[in-house]
Amino acid sequence: MTLAVETTDLKVQLQLADDWFTVCDLSMLVPGRGVAALLPDGRQVAVFRDRSDRLYAVDNRDPFTGAAVLSRGLTGTHEGRPFVASPLLKQRFDLADGHCLDDESVRVAVYEVRTR
Amino acid sequence: MSATLGATPTIVLVGHGMVGQRFLEALAERGLTATHRVVVLCEEPRPAYDRVQLTSYFSGRTPEDLSLTDLEFIKDHGIELHVGDPAETIDREARRVTARSGLAVDYDVLVLATGSYPFVPPVPNKDAAGCFVYRTIEDLLAIEEYARNASTGAVVGGGLLGLEAAGALKGLGLNAHIVEFAPRLMPVQVDDGGGAALLRTIEEMGLTVHTGVGTQEIVTDDSGAVTGMKLSDGSELATELVVFSAGVRPRDQLARDCGLGVGERGGIAVDEQCRTVTDPRVFAIGECALAADGRVYGLVAPGYEQAETAAATIAADEASFTGADLSTKLKLLGVDVASFGDAHGTTEDCLDVVYSDSRAGLYKKLVIGRDGTLLGGILVGDADAYGTLRALTGSVPPVSPESLVLPAGAGSGAQLGPSALPDDAIICSCHNVSKGSIRGAVTEHRCTTVPEVKKCTKAGTGCGSCVKVLGQLVTAELEASGVEVDKGLCGCFAQTREELYEIVRALRLTSYRELLDRHGREGARGGDGCEVCKPAVASIIASLAPAIGASGYVLDGEQAALQDTNDHFLANLQKNGSYSVVPRIPGGEIAPEKLIVIGEIARDFGLYTKITGGQRIDMFGARVEQLPLIWARLVDAGFESGHAYGKSLRTVKSCVGSTWCRYGVQDSVRMAIDLELRYRGLRSPHKLKSAVSGCQRECAEAQSKDFGVIATANGWNLYVGGNGGATPRHADLLAQDLSDAELVRLIDRFLMFYIRTADRLERTSTWLERIPGGLEHVRDVVVHDSLGICDELEKLMRSHVAHYRDEWAETVTDPEKLARFVSFVNAPDTPDPVVSFVPERDQIKPDLPLLSIGMRPADDVLEGSAQR
Ligand code: SRM
Ligand SMILES: Cc1cc2nc3c(=O)[nH]c(=O)nc-3n(C[C@H](O)[C@H](O)[C@H](O)COP(=O)(O)OP(=O)(O)OC[C@H]3O[C@@H](n4cnc5c(N)ncnc54)[C@H](O)[C@@H]3O)c2cc1C
Ligand code: SF4
Ligand code: FES
């Protein structure tokens, strides 16, 4: 993110199978919180921005309850790993690799994100 | 003890009062219940209960609450308990006791624990309708019943029990009088100075005291009911109810009838092992016994010691009871009164050190021996130092006696903490627990809380007067033994919530990041915090907002990112990702027009409606993008956020009260509405619930609330620390007969003190149990302003009230905030397809087809996406 463009014009993009998919303006993301985006194939992605403006994207569906709510969870840092805690039953997911910090066997999909 | 050959030896206990029950426990602890048959004859219609706390019945404790008897215990130890069946005769020759029912039991050992009976002076008409004594639960029930049709009551006797009885009469809404023959109140426990301080405070409470006069006759009407009493000074006092509380006498008739020796002034004569001097197979313990030192003890602690002694002797262990001191600490009508050791200075050559401030109702006297030894003392009005001073009695205090009686802060006034005590100092005299044993509970038995130490040592489970010192000792010991308990809030902060509150308040920090980067744990600084501390800090900032200059609106700026998801959307997230909507319905009162609005909105948006357990209406199944539309209509119709999502005030439930109910004595609905409107929106460590009942029947269930209010004839009683939920707790009475203004002021202080000192997600009930000193400490702080912070607490609450704004009204008019209420940032008009419903009983319920897919295994995770 070294481009000297007005922040308000920056777009958040996700890497899908073969293309970059534009989600929204960067300014729609509040540091520390997420938003949900709908993909063309119907899947949902939760996109987050941290306090240093790093971006993360994981599948929006909470694997423990089935509800599409991860974008509404609280984020944080656990031993240096960025995470989101599900707003329903509070399991935490590593935002970088999708691993559930509270249950080894569970993982959510992660997406590459960039701003343009 | 020799037993009849072959048969299991039998122990018969006559009297199941406080001491009797303690004796049974002592038997069990020594394994005697396993080797003996134990039969108990109990005269009262219920097993042993806490007579010491009898008066608390009038502040809402039920007879069941007062019970000391665990029926499991009785069953587990095979004890045969015969309730409502007193012993009538004892045949010592045949070693047989016969009860009223005809039940005859042969004993090997007989233990008499028959207690005392109230002495009623032989005045004419002493048995008239309207005359009572004050000893049993049945007495209280009868007084309560009779008081319903009375407006004035008089107590004969101004001693400890008389004052309690008078307080109870006042609590029942009567004009209460106390008639005491001696020239001062509590002649046994306090001296003239103490009596004067007590008198002043008690009169200020609205009780009328007549000292130096005797009761000569009870006056009755034609029907034989009390109308007044004639006093020895020739005057007549009009009263409809008389309670005799002129002392007690040992119940030794049964013993006399079977030829056991009794003292000149009564009491079954026993030796140092509590064995009767007449018959080695018969013991006497408690208030019916005349101890080896020639005294009959009218307090529970010596009785317990006698119970232990008798049980030990039966088990052939060494034990003796040679006397006890008469130290007492009481809370009479809210006034601390304590006396200990040689309170009246009877030791030769002793000196007094006295501090007296009758304006403040304070009187403190220490009796000091020639060599500087502390011999005893009297404390009226402020007995905080009692635990420490009592334990120091018999030794030379480490600081000058003057500084021990001067109030803290006044010149050289010194606060002598329990750390100054030697290990063998007795902290709990009810259960004879030394400072050493309490320390041991912490260091060896690994107790880390006061309740654990109580359970482990029994300290503090009797009269309760030592609990404050106990709390101080436990804390000191934990700190000293270096048990590294990480009291930190979470992985990001090493401070407790209380400490963070103080930091935020003192430094006026309004930014979470700043707090984390400056005060967080080393490794957490610069990071993003976590889901534990973010909402906790958000709540601290919100509850201090006006005072520290933060925005009071929880979705402003950085605050928005800290809120728990429910607060973030100002609604409660449900299992399928939809939300529930709860408008505030203050006090549960709602006009038909507003009911119709709710009905229409629910119908138009297809919401599921339900009457909640909190006297309001919840609408379920709203999609996130519907929330602003729903709220725009609700705000329009005059509704506000109900904060069902917040750690903040939920509901103040009400009963209909005096407006409609035939029993109501105050307008409970109005008070509930006032309170709900005053505290709405207040962010706190956990949710806050309240209720107001119009009379003692308590239809609003106020005693299960964080702060509950019950109407009395004279105003309001305030209860705090109640809880429903998983660990229900009855609230404790904080103060009685408050005016509207006094009530509100106390609640203001209570809530702000709680918000300031509680842990995250700690309800008032757990907080009250946890904080050192418990209820007493909270009462000292919020009622007596012992920390001098009440002005500030009130100020904080006033600014909360002044700055309150409805979050939803503010949100629906702010386009930027509204942009957040969409399912998808890139498709604002598309609803989340996962949120779907199926019909049930004419309404909807969530349909969760996705759940059947189950959890996604870790390996098929990257399909269609690239890993970073
Ligand atoms: C809706 C309601 C049940 C109902 O259908 O009646 C309800 C629903 C919930 N309760 Fe409750 N409680 C409701 C009355 C109560 C009551 C009764 C009362 O308030 O008189 C109690 C017991 C009283 C008490 O709290 O002391 C109660 C004790 C709890 C507890 C246990 C608290 C405790 O201290 O043990 C929780 C869990 C918690 O807060 O940690 C809880 C938590 C919840 C939550 C918030 C659980 C959650 O996180 O999803 C539920 C969601 C509410 C929603 O989505 O709107 N609810 N809950 C009631 C709403 C009342 C209102 O109008 O605000
Ligand atoms: C209102 C009040 C407040 C008090 N406050 C304090 C205080 O703050 N501190 C303190 O130390 N003490 C206090 N006391 C005193 C304390 O309650 C007594 O010291 C204690 O209860 C004595 O216990 P006990 O077992 O000897 O007698 P009790 O508790 O009176 O028990 C005796 C039992 O024996 C039963 N009984 C009698 N005869 C027979 C029979 N023939 N057969 C079967 N059963 C029989 C009686 O019905 C009674 O239930 C208070 C007392 C009252 C009434
Ligand atoms: S608590 Fe009292 S006043 Fe209120 S409804 Fe019940 S009986 Fe009536
Ligand atoms: S002194 Fe009575 S409980 Fe400890």
CA distance B430 to B417: 21
Instruction: Specify the pLDDT at position B408.
Output: 54
Asked whether residue B3 carries a pLDDT value surpassing 50, the answer given is: no
A97 contacts chain B (CB < 8 A): yes
The stretch B374-381 carries a mean pLDDT of 87
* Structural domain contains residue A5: no
Instruction: Specify the pLDDT at position B862.
Output: 32
Q: Confidence class of residue B269 from pLDDT cuts 50, 70 and 90?
A: very high
Asked whether residue B221 carries a pLDDT value surpassing 90, the answer given is: yes
Locate B850 and state its tokens.
Answer: 């996705």
* Structural domain contains residue A68: yes
Pick A50's closest partner by Cβ from B528, B835, B867.
Answer: B528
CA distance B555 to B559: 6
Q: How far is CA B133 from CA A94, B23, B143, B226, in A?
A: 71, 27, 9, 14
Characterize B164-181 residue by residue with b for buried, 16 or more Cβ atoms within 10 angstroms of its Cβ, and e for exposed: bbbbbbbbbbbbbbbbbb
Instruction: Specify the pLDDT at position B21.
Output: 96
Sign of CA dihedral B225, B226, B230, B236: negative
* Structural domain contains residue A30: yes
Asked whether residue B410 carries a pLDDT value surpassing 50, the answer given is: no
Q: Which ligand is nearest to the CA of B657?
A: 3
Per the document, the length of chain B is: 868
Instruction: Specify the pLDDT at position B455.
Output: 82
CA distance B98 to A47: 83
Digit-coded pLDDT (tens) for B745-774: 999 999 999 999 998 889 999 999 888 888
- Output phi, psi for A105, to 5 deg: -80, -5
Locate B269 and state its tokens.
Answer: 């004569």
Asked whether residue B854 carries a pLDDT value surpassing 70, the answer given is: no
**Which has the closest alpha carbon to B84: B133, B30, B16, B36?**
B16
Digit-coded pLDDT (tens) for B665-698: 999 999 999 999 999 999 999 999 999 999 999 9
Answer with the residue of higher pLDDT: A43 or A18. Answer: A43
Instruction: Specify the pLDDT at position B119.
Output: 92
Instruction: Specify the pLDDT at position B417.
Output: 66
Instruction: Specify the pLDDT at position B407.
Output: 64
Answer with the residue of higher pLDDT: B460 or B652. Answer: B652
Read out DSSP for B83-115?
ET--EEEEETTTTEEEETTS-EEE-SEEEE---
* Structural domain contains residue A105: yes
Q: Is A100 exposed, middle or buried (0-12, 13-18, 19+ CB in 10 A)?
A: buried
Range of the domain at A84: 11-115
Lowest mean pLDDT segment, chosen from B86-90, B196-200, B575-579, B776-780: B196-200
Our CA-based measurement puts residue B506 at a distance from the nearest CA of chain A, in whole angstroms, of 25
Q: Read off the amino acid at residue B257.
A: D
Tell me whether strands B109-112 and B10-14 are parallel, antiparallel or unpaired: parallel
Tell me whether strands B289-290 and B328-332 are parallel, antiparallel or unpaired: unpaired
Instruction: Specify the pLDDT at position A104.
Output: 80
Q: Indicate the SS3 state at residue B289.
A: strand
Instruction: Specify the pLDDT at position B416.
Output: 60
Contact assessment for residue B541 and residue B548, using Cβ atoms and an 8 Å cutoff? yes
Lowest mean pLDDT segment, chosen from B422-426, B478-482, B715-719, B744-748: B478-482
Q: Which residues, 6+ apart, have CB-to-CB distance to B593 below 8 Å?
A: none
Digit-coded pLDDT (tens) for B133-151: 999 999 999 999 999 999 9
Contact assessment for residue B162 and residue B178, using Cβ atoms and an 8 Å cutoff? yes
Our CA-based measurement puts residue A4 at a distance from the nearest CA of chain B, in whole angstroms, of 24
Answer with the residue of higher pLDDT: B390 or B112. Answer: B112
* Structural domain contains residue A33: yes
* Structural domain contains residue A6: no
pTM confidence score: 0.54
Cβ of B464 below 6 Å from ligand 4: yes
Lowest mean pLDDT segment, chosen from B267-276, B653-662, B718-727: B718-727
| Residue A66 to residue B848, Cβ atoms within 8 A | yes
Element at B223 (helix H, strand E): none
Task: Output Rg (C-alpha) for chain A, integer angstroms.
Answer: 14
Pick A87's closest partner by Cβ from B565, B819, B866.
Answer: B565
CATH of the domain at A19: 2.102.10.10
CA distance B162 to B155: 6
Q: Indicate the SS3 state at residue B827.
A: coil
A108 contacts chain B (CB < 8 A): yes
Tell me whether strands B374-380 and B335-341 are parallel, antiparallel or unpaired: antiparallel
Asked whether residue B360 carries a pLDDT value surpassing 60, the answer given is: yes
Instruction: Specify the pLDDT at position B332.
Output: 67
For residue B459, how far is its CA from the centre of ligand 4 (angstroms)? 6
B844 contacts chain A (CB < 8 A): no
- Output phi, psi for A54, to 5 deg: -75, 145
Locate B479 and state its tokens.
Answer: 């700190």
Instruction: Specify the pLDDT at position B853.
Output: 39
Instruction: Specify the pLDDT at position A8.
Output: 57
B272 contacts chain A (CB < 8 A): no
Q: Is B613 exposed, middle or buried (0-12, 13-18, 19+ CB in 10 A)?
A: exposed
Q: Is B259 exposed, middle or buried (0-12, 13-18, 19+ CB in 10 A)?
A: exposed
Q: Confidence class of residue B483 from pLDDT cuts 50, 70 and 90?
A: low
Q: Indicate the average pLDDT of chain B.
A: 88
Digit-coded pLDDT (tens) for B618-638: 999 999 999 999 999 999 999
Cβ of B465 below 6 Å from ligand 4: yes
Digit-coded pLDDT (tens) for B512-549: 999 999 999 988 999 999 999 999 999 999 888 888 88
The stretch B471-479 carries a mean pLDDT of 80
Our CA-based measurement puts residue B643 at a distance from the nearest CA of chain A, in whole angstroms, of 17
Residues 14-73 of A with CB under 8 A from B: 15-17, 22-24, 28, 30-33, 35-38, 41-44, 47, 50-51, 56, 61, 63-69, 72-73
* Structural domain contains residue A3: no
* Structural domain contains residue A1: no
Instruction: Specify the pLDDT at position B705.
Output: 97
For residue B579, how far is its CA from the centre of ligand 1 (angstroms)? 15
Number of domains in chain A: 1
What ipTM was estimated for this complex? 0.69
Q: Which of B425-434, B649-658, B818-827 has the highest mean pLDDT?
A: B649-658
Q: Which ligand is nearest to the CA of B586?
A: 1
Digit-coded pLDDT (tens) for B782-803: 999 988 899 999 999 999 999 9
Instruction: Specify the pLDDT at position B222.
Output: 92
What is the atom index within ligand 2 of the atom nearest the CA of B22? 25
Q: How far is CA B278 from CA B42, B258, B274, B285, B383, in A?
A: 24, 11, 11, 15, 43
| Residue B861 to residue A88, Cβ atoms within 8 A | no
